[in-house]
Structure 1
């Protein structure tokens, strides 16, 4: 397993993260357990901010909270000078409860409810990213009722298809998100938005996909958006103050993944902005981006305890752990690949190839196929790397399995930031109607 951030193998042959021996973390918090390298998270935030400062452009780096949204993470994003991207009332509520400044919150989503819109307006968030005409009219109407003027970006699809899984590619023409530049709907949306009395159009938002390892897609998106901005300026007299180029910056999950340095992504984007916008405008727009996975993805590790195994001669050996698709649905959703190590015997020689199965009642509950490990025994501690993004946030209670705890580790200290769910939590929202509770049991 590739070691990220502060991870290392200590003298006892145990995996250590943030100065904490993971066998000690298991003893203290149990498994499954999400472990987050706080130092690496902060480094990633700082790298983005520093790279944009070096560009000389006005900017906002907004942490895409959908990757991992808990109060402690929102506090770190604030402390590191980030803005915040939310897509639901739950994410917004989490941010506000964490004390995140509302003026630096951007609200995304293709189907915001009227309750979410009212909540966000009342909180005085900084910006809405408007996804469709229904939302445009609804937002203007609610803002008018509240006698306020809200700032917006229009989400546009530039027709750029990133090299990524089809379910996480969002910049192409055939997408549920945004107004298409190519078919003219984006132009009409700008024209309409600029006429709304309670909306202030700041600019546009574009996002081309996720887990992207090259800069060409971003450069092309900048070019398409710049050409669109020029047309809007010439024909409508509307100047974009802000261009949000989304996120999608890749990380290394397994051998063969080749992400660029943060500074390389940022330089390519800012150079393209300077090149394509300066051709026709003396004033360059403020650039916003929304990294999520690249902030927290490789900072996360999930610890599992090995349970049963099943050896099928000539076929494969299944090794089951005490978690699975409930705490990491990405392999089932996207065929995502992961690396792992026996964290309590990290220096032992490889002796077998196994496939890591989860405990859910699903044949598709597989975390890793064909993993080379030392001879695996029940009770061993398996550490799966790069689980910081979209694992906790997508976790479920399928089979009524409790969601794991989350800890931050830093300089030898561990802190619980999400407690493990209890059995009482599982039934906490259940209700048995009186008519059912009074019904006699058939004999």
Structure 2
């Protein structure tokens, strides 16, 4: 896509994140990427992604080798993964689909880590053949790997343990609770000894994996889980009299502050807390693997949506937009845990001015709770204006919900160049067509159920029959 006309900038040589978003919204409206025909779209700030990857690398500088992997589930879009691969990241995957798109994005198998609590034998076999690293979730999975692992496999194999250090503020995002479905529950009776035996019996088992959770988990809780894994590795290596465990996968899960534009907590702050909890983690004896997702992408993406109508109901002002549960699922279903900031823009894509008015920002889905923001003070929105849902670069537009058969929105990457803020866009994912919606809904098998229902067709005494669709013969 050609460069945009120049938009007045902030006068700095490098626009800030808010300035980049403002410029991108304006040009998206000017060029029709947002408008009546394209009422909702996602946007990825490529410069912001680069900055986040750089901050992660700088935070983990030291004498230890480290593989930073991106959790594919946080932005399961091949061009986004390709950008991250180009910036030197690896990829953490948790399904056959995620492994496929990671390979398609150009990640070398040796830089991919497969995590999942329910891997099939075929998934395990495929990963081991490719040389993808595998973190076994449980002892039964280790036995499957025993049977499937080729003699000269290049795959690093690890075992995930649950340190059972407790949960954070969002139970659904906490993976180190006493009864978590993930990993070997380390504090259960006999579990620690079984883990040690598993490593003693398998010379090829060389990695220990821990992960406490993400959103809602304070840094100290995350670090406590990592420290438990580190101490276990030291214990096992000491008992075996050899460095059997050579690498530690410390997971990801850095929480994101959705209240403002700042990156908080930072990767550097996280490493500082880790150094306090487990100083030996960084002395070079263990290679490290990280699996960050949300913290790399959330702040570097936004959703833009058209305001279709506004109305008053029961004394409430409601703006009906095209961004709701289909693309902001977590926020709609768990608004207290996943609040989003909302920006108001006028019909030309410029920030809207005027007195603040308390408004609900609702989506297009056909259920009453489809509201992305309740009672927000914003300049009064009108038909033809736009709203921006900030901090939605991870888990939002990349993994939409097919409720009401609403088509998946287009996603565009953008870059804002220089003080004058010229904007360039690139398509990441095309908007889904209605033909595609119908095809995914079984169009190719439209008559399949009729073949099973010949003896149950209504008779004239059963009432009127629905006539066949125009152009379609009635089923015999």
Indicate conservation of the 8 Å contact 1:131/1:154, yes or no: yes
Question: Deviation at 1:159?
Answer: 2.0
- 1:8-19 matches, within 5 Å, as 8=18, 15-17=22-24
**1:137 matches 2:133:** no
SS at match of 1:94: helix
Unpaired runs of 5+ in structure 1?
A: none
- 1:209-248 matches, within 5 Å, as 209-211=213-215, 214-237=218-241, 239=243, 240-248=245-253
The alpha-carbon distance between structure 1 residues 219 and 121, as it changes in their structure 2 partners (threshold 3 A), is closer
Indicate conservation of the 8 Å contact 2:76/2:399, yes or no: no
Alignment partner for residue 366 of structure 2, among 350, 361, 376? 361
Q: Give distance in 2, aligned partners of 1:369 and 1:397.
A: 23
The alpha-carbon distance between structure 1 residues 22 and 9, as it changes in their structure 2 partners (threshold 3 A), is farther
Alignment partner for residue 394 of structure 2, among 380, 389, 392? 389
TM-score, normalised via structure 2 length: 0.82
Q: Give distance in 2, aligned partners of 1:171 and 1:380.
A: 44
Alignment match, 2:412: 407
Q: Give distance in 2, aligned partners of 1:413 and 1:223.
A: 44
Q: Give distance in 2, aligned partners of 1:29 and 1:274.
A: 56
Indicate conservation of the 8 Å contact 1:37/1:409, yes or no: yes
Question: Deviation at 1:236?
Answer: 4.1
**1:48 matches 2:53:** no
Alignment partner for residue 343 of structure 1, among 323, 342, 345? 345
The alpha-carbon distance between structure 1 residues 292 and 201, as it changes in their structure 2 partners (threshold 3 A), is same
Indicate conservation of the 8 Å contact 1:350/1:372, yes or no: no
Indicate conservation of the 8 Å contact 1:121/1:143, yes or no: yes
Unpaired runs of 5+ in structure 2?
A: 1-14, 417-422, 459-463, 466-476
SS at match of 1:396: coil
Q: Give distance in 1, aligned partners of 2:198 and 2:388.
A: 52
Q: Give distance in 1, aligned partners of 2:296 and 2:125.
A: 30
Q: Give distance in 1, aligned partners of 2:217 and 2:174.
A: 13
SS at match of 1:359: coil
Alignment match, 1:185: 191
The alpha-carbon distance between structure 1 residues 334 and 136, as it changes in their structure 2 partners (threshold 3 A), is farther
Alignment partner for residue 122 of structure 1, among 120, 129, 134? 129
Alignment match, 1:424: 435
SS at match of 2:83: helix
Alignment match, 1:323: 323
**1:292 matches 2:293:** yes
Indicate conservation of the 8 Å contact 1:29/1:405, yes or no: no
Q: Of the two, which has the highest radius of gyration?
A: 2
The alpha-carbon distance between structure 1 residues 238 and 321, as it changes in their structure 2 partners (threshold 3 A), is farther
Alignment match, 1:101: 108
Alignment match, 1:195: 201
SS at match of 2:149: helix
The alpha-carbon distance between structure 1 residues 82 and 19, as it changes in their structure 2 partners (threshold 3 A), is farther
Question: Deviation at 1:269?
Answer: 2.2
Q: Give distance in 1, aligned partners of 2:449 and 2:37.
A: 41
Which of 222-231 and 369-378 deviates more?
Answer: 222-231
Q: Give distance in 2, aligned partners of 1:373 and 1:266.
A: 38
TM-score, normalised via structure 1 length: 0.88
Alignment match, 2:313: 312
Q: Give distance in 1, aligned partners of 2:240 and 2:308.
A: 65
Indicate conservation of the 8 Å contact 2:250/2:290, yes or no: yes
Alignment match, 2:450: 436
Question: Deviation at 1:71?
Answer: 1.2
The alpha-carbon distance between structure 1 residues 237 and 339, as it changes in their structure 2 partners (threshold 3 A), is same
SS at match of 1:103: helix
Alignment partner for residue 65 of structure 1, among 72, 75, 79? 72
Question: Deviation at 1:164?
Answer: 3.1
Question: Deviation at 1:290?
Answer: 1.1
Indicate conservation of the 8 Å contact 2:343/2:387, yes or no: yes
Q: Give distance in 1, aligned partners of 2:30 and 2:333.
A: 30
Aligned CA-pair RMSD: 2.9
Question: Deviation at 1:223?
Answer: 2.8
Question: Deviation at 1:347?
Answer: 4.3
Question: Deviation at 1:32?
Answer: 1.1
Question: Deviation at 1:229?
Answer: 2.0
Indicate conservation of the 8 Å contact 1:66/1:390, yes or no: yes
Indicate conservation of the 8 Å contact 2:319/2:382, yes or no: no
Which of 429-438 and 93-102 deviates more?
Answer: 429-438
Question: Deviation at 1:285?
Answer: 1.1
Q: Give distance in 2, aligned partners of 1:96 and 1:277.
A: 30
- Alignment length, in residue pairs? 428
Indicate conservation of the 8 Å contact 2:128/2:154, yes or no: no
Alignment partner for residue 77 of structure 1, among 84, 103, 107? 84
